Amino acid sequence: MSKVYLAMYKAKGNWVDKVIRLFTGKPYSHCELAVANGDKYLCYSSSPRDGGVRVKTMRLPTDKWDLIPVHTDSDIVDFFQRTGGKKYDFIGAIGCVLPVRQKASRYYCSEWCYEAIWGVAPKKALSPNKLAELIKGGFTSHKV
């Protein structure tokens, strides 16, 4: 199996990225599950730029992305096949900083990545930064 990483976007980005960093007070505004594929990666996530859950091949330059190794037994491709094309959850993403209800039929990036890794949805809203902290800390269960 190819190596899997949680790819954390730290570049300046657009106004959405700036707002996310402003409200979370942290460096990351987006995350992807990146599967090594030669010098590129197959990147799975839910992206507002792409309208929702998608996969695309990307280069992940280290000046814009941090790569955190992920150890998962979950089948990311299978999860993508079940959720691909679902819309981006703007309201759910706002729920990372404000108490709003997210839509079960939509995903924001860190929510999608969390469920792809552990096979269950997070119990509460989860920012990209919080997910990075969980992965870096060796978090192995799905109690969030």
Residue tagged 């900083």 (tokens):
97
pLDDT value for 105? 86
| Residue 93 pLDDT | 80
Query: Could you report the per-residue pLDDT of 19-70, keeping only the tens digit for each?
Result: 888 888 899 999 999 999 999 999 999 999 999 999 999 999 999 999 999 9
Specify the number of domains making up the chain. Answer: 1
**Within-domain flag for 41:** yes
Are residues 46 and 112 in contact, defined by beta-carbon separation less than 8 angstroms?
Answer: yes
For residue 130, pLDDT beyond 80? yes
Domain contains 15: yes
User: In this structure, what token pair is assigned to residue 121?
Assistant: 């949805």
For residue 77, tell me if it sits in a domain: yes
Residue 18 covered by a domain: yes
pTM value is 0.90
DSSP code of 87? Answer: B
Domain assignment present for 143 = no
Domain that holds residue 68: 4-136
Task: Determine, yes or no, domain membership for 37.
Answer: yes
Q: Is residue 34 part of a domain?
A: yes
Instruction: Please determine, for residue 99, whether its predicted confidence score (pLDDT) is greater than 80.
Output: no
In a domain, 122, yes or no: yes
Place of tokens 């990036």: 109
Virtual torsion, Cα 82, 130, 58, 121, nearest 10 deg: 0
Q: Is the pLDDT of residue 110 over 90?
A: yes
Q: Are strands 65-69 and 30-37 parallel, antiparallel or unpaired?
A: unpaired
For 38-75, b/e burial (b = at least 16 CB within 10 A) is eeebbbbbbbbeeebbbbeeeebeeeebbbbebebebe
Q: What is the pLDDT of residue 41?
A: 97
